[in-house]
């Protein structure tokens, strides 16, 4: 049985991860960490996740015994990433990371840590989005030289980063296939006298509203026809179950940076 510990236990994803691990067949939650200052410190994990008492209390990662878990899972916010990575490297523990909105320094920290420990990093752990990435690459190969490409994403009102990590990953995949540089060809929203569209650009549009779990559409629009690929997540359990699958896959891997395409055998 794979023993898993999670960072950010009090977050939306943290609480769903507790539920997913409670239902998992081949993995067990061995620890759930919150900030040392959190009002949730010491609370039963099942009470925190709303699934009833489970007899394990929330703790903080700094004082916890990190030799106990086999793998850690981190869905927190970018500010927490470097400290969490440092703990995993110090204790030589594999880690699955889902946090999005990383800046250049945080991405560099991820790359550096992966020279010492195995890491899975993915902006989206659902099977459907990982298939969408492959379909987007295939569509770009056939239609990308003439079609206009637009990526539209919608998320709940609490989300802090935009565009979503998944939207950026779709854009990066398409840009890579077409030999474009996303840093120079991306257009983030439009307003005013924009002029005609440059076909070599990749457009992004962001919706933040209510409790949308996560929706992504990539549009390939030519004259006379358009193809739309859409994924809609209706439950965070799809991300949590994917992350647990990634943790089981990662347990005995050598140091390196992997993604969900590797886990699912789609790479």
Ligand X SMILES: O=C(O)C1=N[C@H](C(=O)O)C[C@H](O)C1
Ligand Y SMILES: NC(=O)C1=CN([C@@H]2O[C@H](COP(=O)(O)OP(=O)(O)OC[C@H]3O[C@@H](n4cnc5c(N)ncnc54)[C@H](OP(=O)(O)O)[C@@H]3O)[C@@H](O)[C@H]2O)C=CC1
Which residues 81-120 are close enough to bind ligand X by CB under 6 A? 100
DSSP 8-state code for residue 251:
T
Identified binder of ligand Y from the candidate list 22, 28, 35, 219, rule CB under 6 A = 35
Number of residues counted as binding ligand Y (CB under 6 A): 25
Nearest Cα to Cα of residue 222 among 190, 188, 199: 199
Please say which residue, 77 or 255, places its beta carbon nearer to ligand X. Answer: 77
Per rule CB under 6 A, is residue 208 in the interface with ligand X?
no
Distance, C-alpha 180 to centroid of its chain: 24
Q: CA 203, CA 196: separation in Å to the nearest integer?
A: 13
**Residues 6 or more apart from 245 whose CB is under 8 A from it?**
125, 263
CB of 41 to ligand X, least distance (A): 24
Question: Could you say which of ligand Y, ligand X, none residue 231 binds, taking C-beta under 5 to 8 angstroms by partner kind?
Answer: none
Q: Which residues pair with 210 in a beta bridge?
A: none
Is 188:241 a contact under the CB 8 Å cutoff?
Answer: no
**Is 122 assigned a ligand-binding role in the annotation?**
yes
Please say which residue, 90 or 190, places its beta carbon nearer to ligand Y. Answer: 90
Question: Could you say which of ligand Y, ligand X, none residue 155 binds, taking C-beta under 5 to 8 angstroms by partner kind?
Answer: ligand X
Q: In the 3-class helix/strand/coil scheme, how is 169-215 assigned residue by residue?
A: HHHHHHHHHHCCCHHHHEEECCCCCCCCCCCCCEEEEEEECCCCCEE
Per rule CB under 6 A, is residue 122 in the interface with ligand Y?
yes
CA–CA distances in Å: residue 78 to residues 91, 166, 227, 229, 239? 21, 15, 34, 29, 18
Identified binder of ligand Y from the candidate list 69, 94, 98, 118, rule CB under 6 A = 98
Identified binder of ligand Y from the candidate list 19, 24, 75, 170, rule CB under 6 A = 75
Q: Which residues pair with 7 in a beta bridge?
A: 74
Please say which residue, 33 or 125, places its beta carbon nearer to ligand X. Answer: 125
Residue linked to tokens 């420990």: 117
Rg (CA), the chain: 19
CB of 132 to ligand X, least distance (A): 11
Residues catalogued as catalytic: 155, 159
**Is 5 assigned a ligand-binding role in the annotation?**
no
Is 163:151 a contact under the CB 8 Å cutoff?
Answer: yes
CA–CA distances in Å: residue 79 to residues 9, 31, 35, 36? 16, 21, 12, 15
Per rule CB under 6 A, is residue 164 in the interface with ligand X?
yes
Question: Could you say which of ligand Y, ligand X, none residue 35 binds, taking C-beta under 5 to 8 angstroms by partner kind?
Answer: ligand Y
Residues engaged in binding ligand X (CB under 6 A): 100, 123-124, 155, 159, 164-166, 214
Annotated binding site: 8-13, 35, 98-100, 122-125, 156, 165-166
Annotated binding site for (S)-2,3,4,5-tetrahydrodipicolinate: 156, 165-166
Residues engaged in binding ligand Y (CB under 6 A): 8, 10-14, 34-35, 38, 75-77, 79-80, 98-101, 122-125, 161, 165, 239
């Amino acid at each position: 049985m794979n023993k898993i510990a999670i960072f950010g236990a009090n977050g939306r994803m943290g609480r769903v991860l507790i539920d997913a691990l409670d239902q998992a067949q081949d993995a067990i939650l061995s620890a759930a960490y919150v900030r040392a200052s959190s009002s949730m410190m010491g609370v039963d994990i099942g009470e925190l996740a709303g699934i009833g008492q489970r007899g394990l209390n929330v703790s903080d990662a700094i004082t916890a015994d990190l030799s106990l878990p086999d793998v850690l899972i981190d869905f927190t916010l970018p500010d927490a990433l470097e400290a969490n990575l440092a703990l995993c490297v110090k204790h030589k523990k594999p880690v699955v990371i889902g946090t999005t909105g990383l800046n250049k320094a945080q991405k560099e920290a991820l790359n550096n840590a992966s020279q010492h420990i195995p890491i899975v990093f993915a902006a989206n752990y659902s099977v459907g989005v990982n298939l969408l990435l492959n379909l987007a690459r295939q569509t770009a190969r056939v239609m990308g030289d003439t079609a206009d490409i637009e990526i539209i994403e919608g998320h709940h009102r609490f989300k802090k980063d935009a565009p979503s990590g998944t939207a950026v990953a779709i854009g990066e995949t398409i840009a890579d296939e077409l030999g474009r540089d996303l840093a120079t060809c991306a257009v983030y929203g439009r307003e005013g006298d924009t002029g005609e569209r440059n076909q070599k650009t990749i457009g992004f549009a962001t919706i933040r509203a209510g409790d949308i779990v996560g929706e992504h559409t990539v549009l390939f629009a030519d004259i006379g026809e358009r193809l739309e690929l859409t994924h809609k997540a209706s439950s965070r359990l799809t991300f949590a179950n994917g992350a647990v699958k990634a943790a089981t896959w990662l347990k005995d891997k050598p140091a390196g940076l992997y993604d969900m395409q590797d886990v699912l055998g789609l790479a």
